[in-house]
Amino acid sequence: MQVLSSFRKGYGIQKRLITGIKFLSTTVIDIPKADIYSFGAATSKTSPIFTDVEWQVKKGESWAVVGGNSGEKNLLFQTLLGHLRISPYPSEGLFPFLQSHQDPLSAVSIVSFTHRPRSGGNTGFYDYSARYGAVHEEDKVTLRESLYASLGVVGDPFASTEQHLTLSEQDEAIFHELADKMGLSPFMDLPIIALSNGQTRRARILKAVLRKPRVELLLLDEPLTGLDIQTRPKLLSLLHQLHQSGRPRIILGLRTHDQIPEWVTNVAVVGNRRVRVGTRECYLKGSLAIDSHNYVAGHPETHVRRTKEKKVGEVIVDMKNVRVEYSGRQVLKDITWKIRQGERWHLQGTNGSGKTTLLSMLMGDHPQSYTQTPNCYVAPDSSSSVTERHLHLFSQPRRLIPTPHLQCGSLIGVLSPEIFDAFPRRANMKVWNVISTGFDGGYVPRGTVGVGLGVRGESKRYGPAEIREFVEGGSEEEKWRFQRMAEVLEALGPRSWGREGEQERFSQKAFVDLSVGEQRMVLLMRALVARPKLVLLDEVWSGMDEEMVEAARSYLRGDGVGDDQAVVVITHWDGEMPWGDEDGLRRFRLIEGEGKEVV
Ligand SMILES: Nc1ncnc2c1ncn2[C@@H]1O[C@H](COP(=O)(O)OP(=O)(O)OP(=O)(O)O)[C@@H](O)[C@H]1O
């Protein structure tokens, strides 16, 4: 309520002025000189979120908001969305360019790829692997239906979709042009749940652009994360066209190391509770830089880069002609790949090329991971030359390993966008509890002493194990687990990203209260804590602050993973890989479902 009334108060002033003077302002955003607070904060006592913000955006300019800390960047966007208090409030309203009948609450919108709403709605784990099997009735909404809903076209639920969803000619033309430019046309009739991460990101942007009532100002926070390099320039060029035509105007949120698109004329840099604004040239010369005093990048002294030659051990993944298809559409085409202990792999491929699907085979999440036998996909009269097909994990056919054993933390540790979204956000779940679930690979804390369930004997650490409860102060395994908890908290906890004071309290904080970046760091600790034989890291950096990314990369390069562990990393940004050629990094590339090692 407070949010709405304050926002509308400012908007009321703006409306009166506009009605009186009968012309539209050329100012898009106006913050003359103000401090920014949370609602409910007492101005005189509480320190502001941002001080002395002075920011004017004029028509004809193109802005990017740049910040190394995703949380602070998001707070500036929240200010524009009316979720924070601007003091003093701009006398002509925050958005002088809006017409008198336009409500800023609906005319300004955000699509964020870093920020996750605090509540998230999922207090229990939801089954993200539903996408790989038969899609449930409630998950069958197609991309087309979802986009048509944004355009205000409502279908008759008792009739076939095609007959009853109609668009005006103009909307139809815009719809097809934008869907084509975003490379989404081939996926219109797929259920949304079946879209890849990159396809989903593009669809979210398209949905916001098409939305009715029309969005006048669209805030796009980190739209390039998760997009392949081929798609990035196409999307940027489309965003430029949309911005120029004002349908809608766009402000980009970027990370500090992102390249500033050529069409961006002005930059707002966010950091250390300040916002510095200026031209693109000033930004590139470094004159908008904000010091961050307290950061020691990744504790380089503790995680010294290893230069010694990597030892390569036994084969832990052996794929031969692995194939995945949905209703005749092949997503993975006869993939052959071996992964050994000690190896570091970069799994590459454009959006939709099958990377996540391949990972789901390694994790045993995919129902088709059970069916990799020579005859499975071959019709009796087929001329297919494939005579051998198998998926062996940890030296056994996948179908012989029960899934809970496969995913127990000592075999596979994983962090992916799916796990991030699906992990329960229960109010009573502390950071410690979340990390400790890594020992059993589950989503609920187990065991009486807070480090999961035990296994009998050290030798069983890497295998399907007989389960028993730990007795407090008990076995070697228990001591080892406490030691590992301390290690990952030290290596990846707040001190590693420059927050000295918080280290001790951090493990007792509620997971749900952490920022997106902090939650990702905690889930990374969970993936690594049990020193699993196979570590799978899919797009783990998105939403992390830059200091966190550096701390995580530094730990992975150093002691974070050993010679007995194999790691597969998926990222569209080569520079984000913790390892390079000098570390023996290998690359496996998927092109439209076909895969091979590239050198
Ligand atoms: N249930 C399904 N039915 C039909 N097609 C599907 C289904 N699930 C996934 N796909 C398709 O399989 C292809 C591969 O998807 P996948 O998520 O593995 O791609 P990706 O390489 O991980 O992409 P990104 O980089 O965008 O995350 C996509 O085109 C996707 O639409």
As a whole number of angstroms, the distance between CA 551 and CA 525 comes to: 12
- Ligand 1 atom, smallest distance to 572 CA: 25
Where is pLDDT greater, at 231 or 301?
231
pLDDT of residue 542: 82
As a whole number of angstroms, the distance between CA 546 and CA 270 comes to: 13
For residues 95 and 108, is the Cβ–Cβ distance under 8 A? yes
As a whole number of angstroms, the distance between CA 561 and CA 438 comes to: 15
Domain with CATH 3.40.50.300 in the chain: 2-117+216-285, 315-404
For residues 191 and 345, is the Cβ–Cβ distance under 8 A? no
528-543 per-position pLDDT tens digit:
999 999 999 999 988 8
- Ligand 1 atom, smallest distance to 417 CA: 27
Which of these, 550, 524, 529, 554, lies nearest to 539 by C-alpha position?
A: 524
As a whole number of angstroms, the distance between CA 586 and CA 599 comes to: 7
Q: Which helix (H) or strand (E) holds 66?
A: strand 63-67
State the distance from the centre of ligand 1 to the C-alpha of 328, rounded, in angstroms. Answer: 14
For residues 349 and 326, is the Cβ–Cβ distance under 8 A? no
Q: CATH top-level class for 2-117+216-285? A: alpha beta
- Give the list of residues 6+ apart from residue 360 with CB closer than 8 angstroms, or none: 129, 132, 366, 369
CATH superfamily of 315-404: P-loop containing nucleotide triphosphate hydrolases (3.40.50.300)
> How is domain 406-580 classified at the architecture level of CATH?
3-Layer(aba) Sandwich (3.40)
pLDDT of residue 315: 94
- Ligand 1 atom, smallest distance to 228 CA: 25
Ligand 1 pocket at CB < 6 A? 131, 135, 187, 190, 194-199, 326, 329, 331, 349, 351-357
State the distance from the centre of ligand 1 to the C-alpha of 351, rounded, in angstroms. Answer: 8
Alpha helices (H) along 444-568: 476-492, 503-506, 516-528, 546-555
- Ligand 1 atom, smallest distance to 133 CA: 1
Is it the case that residue 295 has pLDDT exceeding 60? no
Count the alpha carbons within 13 Å of 358 in the hemisphere toward its beta carbon. Answer: 37
309-364 per-position pLDDT tens digit:
566 789 999 999 999 998 878 899 999 999 999 999 999 999 999 999 999 999 88
Alpha helices (H) along 1-138: 2-21, 70-80, 104-107
Which of these, 349, 319, 357, 352, lies nearest to 132 by C-alpha position?
A: 357
- Ligand 1 atom, smallest distance to 353 CA: 21
- Ligand 1 atom, smallest distance to 354 CA: 18
Mean pLDDT, rounded, of the chain: 81
Q: Measured between alpha carbons, how far is residue 412 from residues 73, 256, 407, 418, 568 in Å?
A: 34, 33, 6, 15, 11
Tokens (6 digits) for 411? 């075999």
Pocket test for ligand 1, best of 353, 421, 536, 569 (most atoms within 8 A of CB): 353
As a whole number of angstroms, the distance between CA 594 and CA 354 comes to: 9
Collapse the DSSP code of 224 into the 3-class scheme (helix H, G, I; strand E, B; otherwise coil) and give the result.
coil
Is it the case that residue 458 has pLDDT exceeding 70? no
391-444 per-position pLDDT tens digit:
999 998 998 888 877 877 789 999 998 889 888 888 889 999 999 999 888 887
What are phi and psi for residue 415, nearest 5 degrees? -135, 125
What Rg do the C-alpha atoms of the chain give, in angstroms?
26
Pocket test for ligand 1, best of 144, 229, 357 (most atoms within 8 A of CB): 357
Is it the case that residue 15 has pLDDT exceeding 60? no
pTM summary value: 0.82
Is it the case that residue 126 has pLDDT exceeding 50? yes
Q: Whose CA is nearest to atom 29 of ligand 1?
A: 352
ipTM of the prediction greater than 0.90, yes or no? yes
What are phi and psi for residue 475, nearest 5 degrees? -65, 170
In order, the DSSP letters of 452-467 are --EESSGGGGGS---E
What are phi and psi for residue 120, nearest 5 degrees? 65, -20
For residues 266 and 280, is the Cβ–Cβ distance under 8 A? yes
Q: Whose CA is nearest to atom 25 of ligand 1?
A: 351
Measured over the CA atoms of residue 20, residue 24, residue 27 and residue 28, the dihedral's sign is positive
In order, the DSSP letters of 412-439 are EEEE-HHHHHHS---TT-BHHHHHHHHH
As a whole number of angstroms, the distance between CA 367 and CA 184 comes to: 26
User: Listing from the earlier edge strand, what are the strands of the sheet with 412-415?
Assistant: 412-415, 534-538, 566-570, 344-349, 586-591, 594-598
Q: Whose CA is nearest to atom 24 of ligand 1?
A: 351
For residues 364 and 407, is the Cβ–Cβ distance under 8 A? yes
